[in-house]
Amino acid sequence: MSSQLWLLFLSFLLFHPLLHPCLPLSSAHPLDPLTAAEISTIRRVIQSSHLGASKSLAFHYVGLDEPDKPDVLAWAQSGTRGRRQRRRAFVVAPLRRGDARDRRRRHRRLRRLRPGLSRFRTLEELEAAAALPLNYTPFVESARRRGVALSDVVCSTFTAGWFGEAGRGRRRLKLLCFVAGETANFYMRPMEGITVVVDLDEMRIIGYRDRVVVPVPKAEGTDYRAAKQRPPFAPETKPGVVVQPAGKGFRIDGHVIRWSNWDFHLSYDARAGLVVSLASVYDAEKGARRRVLYRGYVSEVFVPYMDPAEEWYFRTFFDAGEYGFGLWASPLEPMTDCPANAEFMDGYYAAQDGEPVKLPNVFCVFERYSGDAAWRHTELGIPKQMISEVRQEVSLVVRMVGALGNYDYVTDWEFKTSGSIKVGVSLTGILEVKGTPYTHTDQITTDVHGSLLAENTIAVYHDHFVTYYLDLDIDGLNNTFIKSKLKTARVADSSGVPRRSYWTVTREAANMEADAHVEIGSVPAELLVVNPNKKTKMGNHVGYRLIANGVPVASLLSDDDYPQMRASYGKKQVWVTPYNKSEKWAAGLYVDNSRGDDNLAAWSQRNRAIKNVDIVVWHTVGFHHIPYQEDFPLMPMLSSGFELRPSNFFESNPLIRLRSTKQTHLPNCTLIV
Amino acid sequence: MSSQLWLLFLSFLLFHPLLHPCLPLSSAHPLDPLTAAEISTIRRVIQSSHLGASKSLAFHYVGLDEPDKPDVLAWAQSGTRGRRQRRRAFVVAPLRRGDARDRRRRHRRLRRLRPGLSRFRTLEELEAAAALPLNYTPFVESARRRGVALSDVVCSTFTAGWFGEAGRGRRRLKLLCFVAGETANFYMRPMEGITVVVDLDEMRIIGYRDRVVVPVPKAEGTDYRAAKQRPPFAPETKPGVVVQPAGKGFRIDGHVIRWSNWDFHLSYDARAGLVVSLASVYDAEKGARRRVLYRGYVSEVFVPYMDPAEEWYFRTFFDAGEYGFGLWASPLEPMTDCPANAEFMDGYYAAQDGEPVKLPNVFCVFERYSGDAAWRHTELGIPKQMISEVRQEVSLVVRMVGALGNYDYVTDWEFKTSGSIKVGVSLTGILEVKGTPYTHTDQITTDVHGSLLAENTIAVYHDHFVTYYLDLDIDGLNNTFIKSKLKTARVADSSGVPRRSYWTVTREAANMEADAHVEIGSVPAELLVVNPNKKTKMGNHVGYRLIANGVPVASLLSDDDYPQMRASYGKKQVWVTPYNKSEKWAAGLYVDNSRGDDNLAAWSQRNRAIKNVDIVVWHTVGFHHIPYQEDFPLMPMLSSGFELRPSNFFESNPLIRLRSTKQTHLPNCTLIV
């Protein structure tokens, strides 16, 4: 039985008394995520429509259908926040062919966008699929052969990728199974050699292979839970907490956050996770708020593994498009995930049945007092004077953790009073390891595609490519991407000076998309987004520049390899496209079974004009991950990221005209345990 | 009159009752910097010797002559801390030819090392030189022509570099003059077009040229002092302080710092600044302390400017070798330079007359509670369980700020409980600007070698190359440098899997120095220092890897350019040399007037064997600096750095076996103002 998938488009008025009788006005921002009540309403509307009759109706994605950018900008500028807003949802709900043919009950608020193969999957489906092997005779036999108790088995769902198969095929998943039992860290105990293929629509196993029996690594040393640790313990550290004697400096008003010179909107989406919108910075000198970022979020996370074995070759995950970077977000733990002075926000997604599910503490917001200075100078050059001026650095961090199965991605947006936005992504969590007969590297004579971290345990080489969507609107809508290239120049012999060389700067404005595919570091250059219609008093174009905080990483897969085709944007760290509302997801709207024909690189082949238009920067932060023993059984944080830094945006350093906020009195504290 | 310079070598017994009657035993570490009492003793010994008769005797450098490494290691291992230590000082004291010929009074403790051209200079000399123009008639006339009051003039000293002149020449400096007056920020107000050349030994002006009159930029908007700021003020932030209810977690015992799993020695040197020695990490599993870094410090800071004009071409500073990165260190301000929970240490250097000078608060040491996790994982894969384990990150930071005239370099060493050492360098302070007639970029039609930041103010393009000396001793003396190269491999068509490519790792051990000159990022590779004589239980060589925290930067000057010859190591970010006690300074022992014949690249031309011997890694953190208006009148912090991360050093993640130190009770604080 094949399935036909539908896209549904829901449009309704916000503040309809029946829908949100008590929604506070302050949250009526057009970019606010769907509330629990709105998600419930959507479910009711759809279930009362002609679609409701379908037994196979399932909610794969329910989220805000972002209003058109001009409308949002007009709303933001008008500031008439109490105004009734037209709100629309974007719903992906697959229906099997033949279901819901009764068009008489079609709801006036429902609009079928276009048929498509959504290829999303719900948490409920994954859970159901993961339970299948336990009742599947061949698997029960495989477990017996390995001496594994079925009660200890945990199976996990893995996307199957696309490897040149013709036709759209079925909605398939692969399962790989592990042994938990004495340890929570089942990922370290693979039942190597077994592959299970599941048809998700039929929810049954359609393929099974037990290729080879390999020892299951032992549980000892794999558990990471505090309660399971035994001496010798690692040396401890003393606790420390940030205290703010004058209170917090930020205000959360619905989803709008206001702090120091920054103002932005923070929303949750099941696919993207944390979305920052309408970030603007107050320019004290101009007495005006100035736009920086219309919308920024993690658009895709591509994670290919580097082992071509049958149980491994397909592990080429697209964590946002195939799983949902927000759907898999972790509730943040106060005092450890975020410091004592953090505030938390919740998120809501729709369950498979359309009911809203609360994700508590999905974001945290806190002020960071890193102990660094924002700027300083000591001046000894003026006779008989000693000048020392130092300003403390304070920044605001918003954080979400996407825990995609084994891996945890800590994603931070740090707003600085200097006007910078620092974006950080840190990897932690658990590696994917392969069972092996090896117990010592001396036994290894061939390429094992990974590192032997423990007996029978090879952590496989892999990459992480976190691609950010950055719709920068630097001081206005129309921007231009600039490469400021540094080039060596010779000093003329006739110059009269003995110096022979220097470097100078050539600014190249990108006219077309092809001019803006950048492999960072291949030539020395600074990358800027400027507003060519606005200049400083000195005549410099106002802008921001992108600074990578790590050695640039690009995909090393062959261009003709299937995962590389699907993530074909991964060979350049920067792409620039003209703003297009439908181009949100670097690997395409429907990523499962995708073929790279609807991704960033495909769109960009049109080579559209990008000069002095509304542009979007796509920046990929990459990691090549060669595992080391310290990554066993759970890896310490490994961080990278980038900075968006004002560059001729302000007339001068905006932090000079700061009344010194130097803290001279220490708070007097007592700890009550 | 020409001068002859001498090197003096002082050897005396520590704890000689006459010298240090009450030196506490705990500070008797062979790597401790010279104490004030020891500096005084050195002065007395030299002045009572045959050298004391010389009227020109001046102390250019007085510092510890580091004992031989085997002796230090033996001392550190024996732990017999009360033992009498032989201490030696390294003294650079120039004497004019003909002075101090009376060899009868030669002190038994003094040994002339070898004659050389020290080319060091003292703060007193710089101050005296900077005052010369005010009494120099041609300069007084130049000031008058520019309408500048002499009382507002501040002159600064600039090293002249070497540009192919034959012979060793005189000890020269160039002076450039500025207008202070209403502003403390005289650097923003150059008296462009004037160059003054000073002979330091004769302390007189030997060259003067007033080439062109250019408007002096106005003072308005240049002052950075809080007291001088006027509205509109920048938005403020709320104060925050770290409180440690259970006290600090580190102990400073003389110059040895002990914190969590780390133990290291911290010392001050007038040239290098902050020196970290004998850093070792406690391995709880092995129950043993294991060596990581024998000695690490900033070896050189090369800062070439990119304007070939007569007043600019020579600005190619070597801040450590020509000025003294420690000599120019700033006293750190509590609460802003370092947080409330910091402790401070003092340093001592010798004044020109040999008397000790205290540099208060030259270092600070504090625990950082960044609000990040050290590791985390949320596990949803086990049915009916939700596991979330998060450990708070706490690290220890040691910091020094070198304020080299206009620029301030914040140099941090951050020790992590994971075993990582993160080294950070942040630039702030004031740019060097060039006076210009331009008041708007529209007027500019040629390359002005910089950015117009304010009227009549061009900030000139330049670089910063901070070169670190890293004598790693990973778990022992003999180490090997490894490049783990990532290379794309093809999947054989016969493999039966549809995957076409992957990457794998080729480990290349560097046999000779030439194998270890690395341009980071030119090929995808990880860089490791391993101990080939020690393996983990799994058989992996124990090691640390070097991770650059920024896009790698290399010098763009032509190889035949004089400053490039002097800093010829600057085209590669990594060099590895066999340990050699005399190879400490990347640009050579005597940098002023150097020709590149005694620098890292020159030593390395011998292409010595570096495999499984005691090796030193030299790593350069670079910045190309294109100034932007935000850098005016004082730049916000711009940061880079690197991480030394354990890589198969531990058997597993050392932070798993941590008793959770989760802080669940908030301290109750009151602020008494």
Contact call for A372 and B637, based on CB within 8 A: yes
**Residue in chain A nearest B498 by alpha carbon:** A163
Work out the percent of chain B whose per-residue pLDDT is above 90.
77
The position carrying tokens 């495909």 is A602
Determine contact: A74 vs chain B, CB below 8 A: no
Name the more confident of B403 and A83: B403
The answer to whether A394 contacts chain B (CB < 8 Å) is yes
Residue B505's closest CA among A387, A653, A624, A285? A624
∠ CA A110-A114-A120, nearest 5°, is 90
Residue A560 contacts B, CB cutoff 8 Å: yes
What domains can be seen in chain B, in order of their start residue?
4-112 (3.10.450.40), 123-228 (3.10.450.40), 250-646 (2.70.98.20)
B interface mutation test: which of A163, A376, A446 has the most B CBs within 10 A?
A376
Which residue out of B407, B469, B544, B569 is catalytically annotated? Answer: B407
Query: In angstroms, rounded to a whole number, what is the distance separating the alpha carbons of residues B458 and B461?
Result: 9
Residue of B nearest to A289 (CA): B235
Contact B237, A658 (CB under 8 A): no
Rounded distance, CA A90 to CA A107, Å? Answer: 15
**Nearest neighbour of B226 by CB, restricted to A239, A241, A660:** A660
3-state secondary structure of B37: helix
Out of A390, A545, A650, the one facing B336 most closely (by C-beta) is: A390
The residue that leads in pLDDT, B203 or A94, is: B203
Give the integer Cα–Cα distance in Å for A519 and B521. Answer: 11
Determine the pLDDT at residue A92: 82
pLDDT band at B93 (very low <50, low <70, confident <90, very high): confident
Q: Which of the four pLDDT bands, split at 50, 70 and 90, describes residue B143?
A: very high
Shortest distance between the Cα of A16 and any Cα of chain B, in A, equals 37
B27 Cα to chain A: minimum distance (Å): 25
Strand positions, DSSP E, B369-435: 373-379, 387-392, 395-404, 407-416, 421-429, 433-435
Residue among A306, A381, A636 whose CB faces B186 most closely: A381
Report CB contact under 8 Å: A331, B378.
yes
B206 or B1: whose pLDDT is higher? B206
3-state secondary structure of A127: helix
Using CA atoms, how far residue A526 sits from A148, A390, A413, A483, in Å, is 56, 28, 21, 6
Distance from CA of A423 to the nearest CA of B (A): 14
Half-sphere exposure of A16 (CA within 13 A, CB side): 12
User: Is-contact B51 B100, C-beta < 8 A?
Assistant: yes
CA–CA separation, B376 vs A81, rounded Å? 40
Q: In this predicted complex, what is the ipTM?
A: 0.94
CB-nearest to B224 from A246, A305, A377 is: A377
Q: What is the pLDDT of residues B531-575, one digit of tens each?
A: 999 999 999 999 999 999 999 999 999 999 999 999 999 999 999
Please check whether residue A286 is in contact with residue A534, taking contact to mean a CB–CB distance below 8 angstroms: no
What pLDDT was estimated at residue A97?
Answer: 56
pLDDT confidence of residue A171: 84
Bond from prior residue into A334 cis (ω within 30 degrees of 0)? no
For residues B76-91, average pLDDT: 72
Residues (pLDDT < 50) of chain A are 1-27, 100, 113, 115, 673
Instruction: Let me know: does B669 contact A647? Beta carbons within 8 Å.
Output: no
- In which region does residue A14 sit, left (phi positive, over 0), alpha (psi from -120 to 50) or beta (all else)? beta
| Maximum mean pLDDT: which of B33-37, B98-102, B454-458 | B454-458
Max CA separation in chain A (angstroms) = 91
Q: Of A260, A538, A560, A595, which to mutate for an interface test with B (greatest number of B Cβ within 10 Å)?
A: A538
Under an 8 A CB cutoff, do A556 and B524 touch? yes
Residues of A in contact with B333 (CB under 8 A): 376, 388, 390
The answer to whether the beta carbons of residues A107 and A41 sit under 8 Å apart is no
- When CB atoms are compared, the residue of A240, A548, A659 closest to B242 is A240
Per-residue model confidence (pLDDT) at position A111: 56
Q: Would you call B180 an interface residue with chain A, using a CB distance cutoff of 8 Å?
A: yes
pLDDT in tens, B429-443: 999 999 999 999 999
pLDDT at res. A612 = 98
* H-helix segments, B132-256: 137-145
Give the nearest chain A residue to B622 (CA atoms). A524
Q: Do A520 and B635 touch (CB under 8 A)?
A: no
CB within 8 Å of B227: residues ≥ 6 apart:
none
Cα–Cα distance measured from residue A91 to residue A572, given in angstroms and rounded to the nearest whole number = 32
DSSP secondary structure of B637-662:
EEEEEEEEEESSSSSS-TTSS-----
Q: Give the C-alpha separation, B433 to A538, whole Å.
A: 15
The whole-angstrom separation of Cα B527 and Cα B483 is 5
* Measured distance CA(B359)–CA(B274) in Å, rounded: 13
| Active site residue ranges of A | 319, 407
pLDDT at B472 over 50: yes
Chain-centroid distance, C-alpha A385: 51
State the pLDDT at residue A42.
86
In order, the DSSP letters of B77-103 are: HH--TTS--EEEEEEEEEE-TTTT--G
**H-helix or E-strand containing A601?**
helix A600-604
- B459-483: average pLDDT: 98
Contact A69, A291 (CB under 8 A): no
Distance from CA of A116 to the nearest CA of B (A): 26
Residue B87 has pLDDT above 90, yes or no: no
Give the chain B residue whose CA is nearest to the CA of A544.
B628
Q: What pLDDT band is residue B171 in, cutting at 50, 70 and 90?
A: confident
